[in-house]
Amino acid sequence: MGSPVFRVLCLGLFAAAPSMATPDLCEPGPEIERAIAEAVASVAQDAPYEERMAPLRELRDRFAGDLFVHLRYQDAIFEHGIEGHLKEMLEEYLQLQIQHDGDPFYLYLAGRAFEGRGTKRAIATMEQVLAIDPGFAPAHRTLAGIYGSKAFADPRKERAERRKFAAACPNSAIGRRPTPPPPRSTFFARLQETKLTPAQEEAIPAGVDRALAQDEWRALRIRLFDWYGVEYQRQVLHDLQAEYWQAWRVLVRHYRRTGQQAQADKLLAEMEERLLRLQRSRKASTFPLAARTVLGLYAEAKQSQSLRAALARLRKSLDEHPDAKRSAELDRVQAAFVARL
C-alpha cells in the first residue's frame, strides 16, 4: 500500500490533475453557448465569407476540444461556403482525424463534414464511431437526422436512433435535416402587384440584380448538397433559367417606360440571340417561355416587322438544325401571335 506520505502525495496529485470526465455531448454549456452567440453576432448578416468565419475560427482555436464550437464552425461553412470552402473544411477534419487516430470525437467530426455532401460516407463513419463508443450521443443524433430526411429516409432506423439519443440526452432535440435552403426572392411577384412610384421605377435595375443574385445563390446551395434529389435540383435550375427571362422582360419594359429605347432595343436583341442558341440546345427546357417572352415584347411595342423577322430567323435556324420537338413548340408559340403579324 506504500507509506502514508506516499499516499498523501498521490492524493494531492490526483486532486490537482484536470478532470478526465467526458464533456457534455448533448448541449453546449452556458459559457460555450454565450461565446458562440457573441461570435455570430459580431459580424453583419451580409458580411463576406472570410469576415464571417474569422470569429468562429478564433473561437475554435480557443475551445479546440469543445464539440459545439466545432459544430457551429462546420455549420457556418455549410451555410455560407462555396465548393472550395467545403472541400477545405473536409480536408481539415480528415487531417484532425488522422492526428487523433481512434478518437471517436474527431472521427465523428470528420464524418459529419461529409453530411449532405457525401451522406452515405457520413452514415458509414457514424457507424464506425458507434463501434468504438456505442454511447456516443452525437452520432445517434446525426444518424437520426439523416434517416429522417427525405433523401435518405429510413423510418425504422430513424426511430431506433432517436430512442438511443433520447436515452442519452432526454432534454435535447434533433434538428431538421437538411436545414431549409435560402428562400427565393419575392421581387418579381411584388413587382406585379405594385403600382410603381418614380423612385420604385428607378430602383428596378438594382432590384433585378439583387433578386437574381439571391436566387442564383439558392440554386448553388441546392446543387452542392446530396440532400436534394436530382429531379428537385433540375427543377430549381429550370426555375432559375426561367427567372432570367422574366428579369430581362422586366428590364426591357422598364427601359421603355423611362424613355431609354436604345437600351431596350439592345437588350431585346441580346435576348433574341440567346433564344436562337437555346433553340439549338436539345436539353434546354425554357425555349417556349423564352420564345413567348421575346416575341411578346416585340408585340407589346407593336414592332410587327421585328416580330416577323424574329420568327423568320427561328424558322431558318430550325431548317439548319432540324428538331421536331422544337418545331412543334415554335408552332404553338407562333399561333399565339398570328393576329399580330
Determine the pLDDT at residue 283: 84
| 3-class secondary-structure state, position 131 | helix
The CA distance from 289 to 267, in Å, is 17
Which letter does DSSP use for residue 27 in this model? S
Residue with cell 425555349: 287
Each residue's pLDDT tens digit, 106-151: 999 999 999 999 999 999 999 999 999 999 999 999 999 999 999 9
Q: Are 177 and 146 in contact (CB under 8 A)?
A: yes
Residue with cell 422574366: 246
**287 pLDDT band (50/70/90 cuts)?**
very high
Determine the pLDDT at residue 213: 96
Each residue's pLDDT tens digit, 25-80: 999 999 999 999 999 999 998 899 999 999 999 999 999 999 999 999 999 999 99
3-state secondary structure labels for all residues of 212-262: HHHHHHHHHHHHHCCCCCHHHHHHHHHHHHHHHHHHHHHHHHHHHHCCCHH
Determine the pLDDT at residue 101: 95
87-109: average pLDDT: 97
Q: What's the grid cell of residue 122?
A: 457520413
- Kindly state the percentage of the chain with pLDDT values over 90: 82
The CA distance from 215 to 271, in Å, is 20
Determine the pLDDT at residue 8: 34
Considering the chain, what is the average pLDDT of its residues?
A: 90
The CA distance from 308 to 337, in Å, is 10
The CA distance from 207 to 199, in Å, is 12
Each residue's pLDDT tens digit, 310-321: 999 999 999 998
Determine the pLDDT at residue 45: 86
Q: Output 22 or 335, whichever has higher pLDDT.
A: 335
Contacts of 67 (CB under 8 A, 6+ apart): 23, 25, 105, 109, 138
182-186: average pLDDT: 92
Contacts of 301 (CB under 8 A, 6+ apart): 256
CA 45 to chain centre: 16
Q: Are 104 and 120 in contact (CB under 8 A)?
A: no
Determine the pLDDT at residue 290: 96
186-207: average pLDDT: 91
Q: What's the grid cell of residue 294?
A: 421575346
Determine the pLDDT at residue 40: 95
